[in-house]
Amino acid sequence: MHDTRDPLKLRGLPQLDPPGDAWAALEARMQPKPRRAWPWAAAAVLVLVLAGGLFLDRDMPLPDRPEDPELAAWITYSQVLEEQLRSVRGRTAAYRGHQAVAMAELEDMVAAIDASLARAESDELRLMLWQQRALLLDDLVAVHAMGHLANDGSDQPTPIVTRIPVTLASNSL
Amino acid sequence: MTESSFAQPVPDEWIEAARRGERSAQEALFRRFQRPIYTLALRICQNEDDAMEVMQDTFIKVFASIDQFKQHCPFWGWLRQIAVNMALGRLRKLRRREFTVLGNPPDLTPQRPDDQLDLAGAFARLPAETRAVVWLYDVEGYSHREIADLFGNSVSFSKTQVSRAHARLRELLDGPSGDPLCTTPATL
């Protein structure tokens, strides 16, 4: 078969190096920034609890109590979102195809992060994983909420999603 | 056919150490793959800041989800897929920004109609989506089916984009013909 791939030799273009010390830049971005993010995380958790009338599930197995307040906040936030999920899951009978696919993908990613968390040996990695977990759960709640609203348009639905401020997510990851 | 520049071996010990969160292993992986990821991102996004963010986002995701990597596949293929997804995600974000904030993207290329474009310059002048498709097909060796899936579109979409890109590149590289697009862009 005649190969029409790359007739203009784009592969011949040079490889490019990122400017500056790219590893240092990445490392800096992966560093936890507890002082800056903590008040936002606390506020986000509080808003969630108040808006949804939720209480933390006391039976939920807790990880070791972290010293780092930011890590503690992300863990708490993650638990609140799980509670939200439990609450919305029972309300919706069916989802549209793309919603079901999105939920399955998000749940797979959360499961993968849980597996990573079980093996994580550094606090830095734990923090990064808990952040990602919470953000994925946040998305998962949002997808469930869309399904709930679409299926239950006649009722006045309880506000079940309060998104964490974008600044928190982008500052901390 | 030459393999992708991503196709580099990675010792299993690096992956295991990275799974344990060891920074030295993460750095080793970073140093091995920073160039292909940055190159892919910059060729697709055509902006250094965006390329840098795509590269960082890729590594953050790789390190966070390295447990998902299955050893029976080459590590580079798994990592490249994450990089491609990140770059295309960035492209979508840029497009939204262009439409919502800027309108059409400004053409900042100096007008020098007497010069012929070089390949990098001509490539940079392709529409963003076309650029991404032709890069994935020509350089990274993706199939039309794989590209169609990535873009949520049909196989014929991919074929058409590649065909149009080749025609447009030839047109741009063949030199001035009164076409206002025949200008000299910054060469990356």
pLDDT in tens, B49-85: 999 999 999 998 899 888 889 878 899 999 999 999 9
Between residues 61 and 120 of chain B, which touch chain A (CB distance below 8 Å)?
Answer: 63-68, 119-120
Both tokens of B55, joined, read 């590269």
A97 touches chain B (CB under 8 A): no
Summarize the confidence of residues A134-144 as an average pLDDT: 82
Q: For A104-118, A133-147, A156-170, B65-79, which range has the lowest pLDDT when averaged over its residues?
A: A156-170
Torsion of CA B101, B172, B39, A20, to 10 degrees: -70
Q: For A30-39, A79-88, B41-50, B109-118, which range has the lowest pLDDT when averaged over its residues?
A: B109-118
* Residue B25: C-alpha distances to residues A57, A128, A132, B22, B29 (Å): 38, 17, 21, 6, 6
Does residue B96 have a pLDDT over 70?
no
Q: Where are the alpha helices (DSSP H) in A3-96?
A: 22-30, 34-52, 69-89
Residue that the structure tokens 């890109």 belong to: B165
- Which has more pLDDT, A59 or A34? A34
- Which has more pLDDT, A39 or B108? A39
B97 confidence band (pLDDT: 50, 70, 90): low
Determine whether the interchain pair B137/A132 forms a contact, defined as Cβ–Cβ distance below 8 Å: no
Instruction: Among A11, A15, A121, A132, pick the best mutation site for testing chain B contact (most B Cβ within 10 A).
Output: A11
A10 confidence band (pLDDT: 50, 70, 90): very high
In sequence order, the 6+-apart residues with CB closer than 8 A to the CB of A138 are A81, A163, A164
**d(CA B103, nearest CA chain A) in Å:** 24
pLDDT of residue B113: 43
Query: What tens digit of pLDDT does each residue of B135-183 get?
Result: 999 999 999 999 999 998 999 999 999 999 999 999 999 865 544 444 4
Residue that the structure tokens 């972290």 belong to: A66
Closest residue to A26, CB basis, from B21, B56, B68? B56
Query: What tens digit of pLDDT does each residue of A22-41 get?
Result: 999 999 888 765 444 445 55
Return d(Cα A6, Cα A21) in angstroms, integer: 32
Determine whether the interchain pair B134/A120 forms a contact, defined as Cβ–Cβ distance below 8 Å: no
Residues of chain A positioned with their CB less than 8 A from the CB of B135: 10
Does residue B111 have a pLDDT over 60?
no
Between residues 109 and 148 of chain B, which touch chain A (CB distance below 8 Å)?
Answer: 119-120, 123, 134-135, 137-139, 141
pLDDT of residue B145: 96
Closest residue to B64, CB basis, from A8, A25, A128? A128
Return d(Cα A45, Cα A48) in angstroms, integer: 5
Summarize the confidence of residues B35-47 as an average pLDDT: 96
pLDDT of residue A95: 65
**d(CA A13, nearest CA chain B) in Å:** 7
Does residue A157 have a pLDDT over 50?
no
A117 touches chain B (CB under 8 A): no
CB B80 within 8 A of CB A47: no
